[in-house]
A and B are shown apart, each in its own frame.
Chain A
Amino acid sequence: MLKSREDLVNLQQKSKAALAEQKMRILVCAGTGCVANGSLKVYESLKKLIAEQGLLAEVDLVKEVSHEGIGVSISGCHGFCQMGPLVRFEPSGLLYCKVQEDDCAEIVETSIVNNGVVERLLYSDPTTGETVKTQDEIPFYNRQVRVTLKNCGRIDPDDINDYIAHGGYQAIAKILTGMKPDEVIKEVLDSGLRGRGGGGFPTGRKWSFAAAQPGPKKYIICNGDEGDPGAFMDRSVMEGNPHLVLEGMMIAGFAIGADEGYIYARAEYPLAIKRMRKAIADAEALGVLGKGVLGTDFNFKINIKEGAGAFVCGEETALIASIEGERGMPRPRPPFPAVKGLWACPTIINNVETLANLPAIIMNGAAWFRGFGTPGSAGTKTFALAGQIQNTGLVEVPMGMTLREIVFDIGGGLREGKKYKSVQIGGPSGGCLTEEKLDLPLDYDELMKVGAMIGSGGLVVMGDDTCMVETAKFFMGFVQNESCGKCVPCREGTKQMLAMLTKITEGKGTEADLALLEELAQNVKDGSLCGLGKTAPNPVLTTLRYFRDEYLAHVRDKKCPAGACQALKEYYIDPEKCKGCTICARVCPAGAITGDKKQPHVINVDLCLKCGACMEKCKFGSIVIR
């Protein structure tokens, strides 16, 4: 039990010394991605093999024994999910990619016993083919600036002492032993931190509303209901550094005068929930959370609420309704939650990433934080890179970096030689950014100008084989499904827009549909209560604005230029390549293919079901979609 700031400092020094005694530390990524690829087996195997060599160090950092030897730990997400499972060596920074259980014996033999390098497990640059040894030499990493993800992948998320060894809980200790709530709010206000969940509202200002409300009961809610498809930064932070989130919540709680907090996490993230639960129990046992934190009179209790699968619960008031045990339906604002929120008490809801920025701001000051990013959007932002991109994963960069740098320099460009078409930013509420927008600096205000939003930071890269009408239909299907049904324009409007988009992708649309679609989109935007309805038409509106040609090709020529819309596909046999083997005619379920043996075959488009069976079976690649 820690009773004072001095106790915490002593524990930090002790844990730090224990880590320093370790000759080498091996961190095996145990984020969801790497676990799915077998990283836990790698971890067990490395531990066993190193123990057999008699080199395994004691991992309990506070145990009064020697910590000499080699420490093996799991860690949170390293971010480079594409190359997982990842194994990182400290202090050398050596990084092995795509490590499997079978590789472990060689790793121990080469890198531990003989101090060498297993060349084949190193990252190799796809353009030059050169291998690099350490994480810092990889372009994916060396352009990033990590604030919230700093220790993600460097510490064991299940070990509170590891967090403390790396400076954990020092920020809350600093506040409790010398700062007043209004000083904390001022520091955060001066830092220019804006909500990382999408809205971009200045965090300090939001806090000041709740701080001005009379108590005694106020709440802090950590919004971990990361519903945007294609975004996984909150998951990674909760999985990789859960104590950072707890510390952030306590700082926010102290600032507004709250003594209780809720973490609302998606049920789809079982690992994150498990790690957060353990973190809460460990922090309470150590006295850095709960009653009388670090021997002061500050109390803070944290509860976890598991979501049950509803995208709309990411919206503040719907989230509150869900915590109260009701259907997650948004409520009209005002009153804003900062005035009247959870159980009618003043409530501040901050996103996981917002909270994870707080300890560093308190420790390093507002000016330091402002040193990153742009004047209007200070600090860094994590982005989840996914879709048709070489290097999928999680990156953290200063606000204002251009899309080009993120997609091409960090992300390595598109995979399989595809051509860049668009990036969908901010999930179903966001918009798409075309090639002309590649040099746009990514921050809150610049994105707003082009009709998109940063959202939670999901960047889904699309290549030239992605149909933008189909993409708009995909998002509309998503929001239509997730609309809570409270507001008629959202409930019925999304349904009608989905029907129109479906019609267009089936080649049954007309130009009049496009005008109607635009009109309806505006109505849904104007007539909905919450963020879901207000932003639901964004994908339609931005694709209509930037890819109108594609819509016109669908309605006028009944063609899908990307060749993605099933109903508009036309299968065709290239007579030059067809050898007349008859296999396509035999597999065709509709009997649409005719031709004589050893003569080029033809497809009757009126009979063709577009199932693609012929194309799959053709050995000569003579069947194409046009």
Chain B
Amino acid sequence: MENRDIKFLKLQQIIDSHEGKVSHLIAILQETQAEYGCLPKEVLTYIATAMGISPATVLGVATFYAQFSLIPKGKYVIRVCDGTACHVRGSEPIMIALRKELCVTPDNPTTGDLMFTVETVSCLGACGLAPVVVADEEVHGQMTPDGILELIRKLAPAASEN
């Protein structure tokens, strides 16, 4: 019981900071995901119980919005923009190169070692720099298939040191 309390202490603090308001559910989930990296089922159940709403409601919201993930993501999240502007300027070859290099698929976007997650995003509003890739929260414009592989290799050795 004690372990469980410690495990969810931070979560309870997040809920308390929003006074448990149901209208803040999305913000609570956003902060929780930032803290835990993803939203596992037990966390969602805890939120439901603490806020006095049904787990189905919480799961419904958590699965509705693209931002939320129920399974852990990699240390580095690579988001390839596939907005219209990036699409016509060749975002697809970048995606293909990336998926091939990291052996990931749309259904299984995270590498086995939890190092990289590859996602698409529809428009980051940086269309002037198309095609755009966000790697580790940094925006890289005018990307190419070779460029993305170089970027991955730059991140990967840095990752293995930690």
Contacts and interface: CB of A to CB of B under 8 A. Distances in A.
A307 B60 CA distance: 16
Given A228-B123, A325-B24, A386-B85, A309 B61 contact: no
A36 B85 contact: no
A482 B123 CA distance: 13
Interface stretch (A189-197, A213-221, A387-395, A401-409): A387-395
B159 interface: no
B84 to A, nearest CB: 4
20 contacts: A32-B139, A36-B126, A36-B132, A36-B138, A81-B128, A82-B128, A232-B126, A232-B127, A236-B125, A267-B67, A309-B66, A324-B22, A325-B22, A384-B127, A386-B85, A386-B130, A387-B89, A392-B130, A393-B128, A475-B84
Interface centre among B26, B66, B89, B123, by most chain A C-beta atoms within 10 angstroms, is B123
Nearest to B138: A36
B74 interface: no
Report the 3 A-B pairs with minimum CB-CB distance, sorted nearest first: A81-B128, A229-B83, A309-B66
A257 interface: no
B88 A462 contact: yes
Given A81-B128, A229-B84, A268-B124, 9 more contacts: A227-B123, A229-B82, A230-B123, A308-B67, A326-B25, A386-B128, A387-B85, A462-B88, A471-B88
B125 A460 contact: no
A558 to B, nearest CB: 21
B23 interface: yes
Contacts of B139: 32, 35-36
A484 interface: yes
A478 interface: yes
A327 B64 CA distance: 6
Contact of A232 (B22, B29, B64, B125): B125
A427 interface: yes
Contact of A36 (B68, B83, B123, B140): B140
Contacts of A231: 123, 125
A32 B68 contact: no
Contacts of B130: 386-387, 392
B140 A308 contact: no
Interface in B23-50: 23-27, 29-30
A350 interface: no
A460 B87 CA distance: 10
A327 B61 contact: yes
Interface of B: 21-27, 29-30, 60-61, 64-68, 82-85, 87-89, 121-130, 132, 138-141
A474 interface: yes
B85 A229 contact: yes
Interface in A272-286: none
Q: What is the interface residue range for chain A against chain B?
A: 35 or more
A458 interface: yes
B122 A478 contact: yes
Contact of B84 (A308, A323, A387): A387
A613 B67 CA distance: 35
B67 A309 contact: yes
Contacts of B126: 32-33, 36, 81, 232
B87 A474 contact: yes
Contacts of A538: none
Contacts of A326: 25, 61
B25 A458 contact: no
A369 interface: no
Contacts of B65: 307-310, 328
Nearest to A230: B84
Interface string A63-99: 0000000000000000001101000000000000000
A206 interface: no
A542 interface: no
A387 B68 CA distance: 30
Contact of A308 (B68, B122, B138): B68
Contact of B30 (A84, A308, A311, A463): A308
B25 to A, nearest CB: 4
Contacts of B121: 268
Contacts of A203: none
Contacts of B67: 267, 308-309
A260 interface: no
Interface string A371-390: 00000000000001011100
A36 B27 contact: no
A235 B88 contact: no
Given A325-B23, A328-B65, A466 B88 contact: yes
B86 to A, nearest CB: 8
A471 to B, nearest CB: 8
Nearest to A392: B128
Interface string A301-329: 00001111111000000000011111110
Contacts of A474: 84, 87
B23 A33 contact: no
Nearest to A342: B23
A235 B125 contact: yes
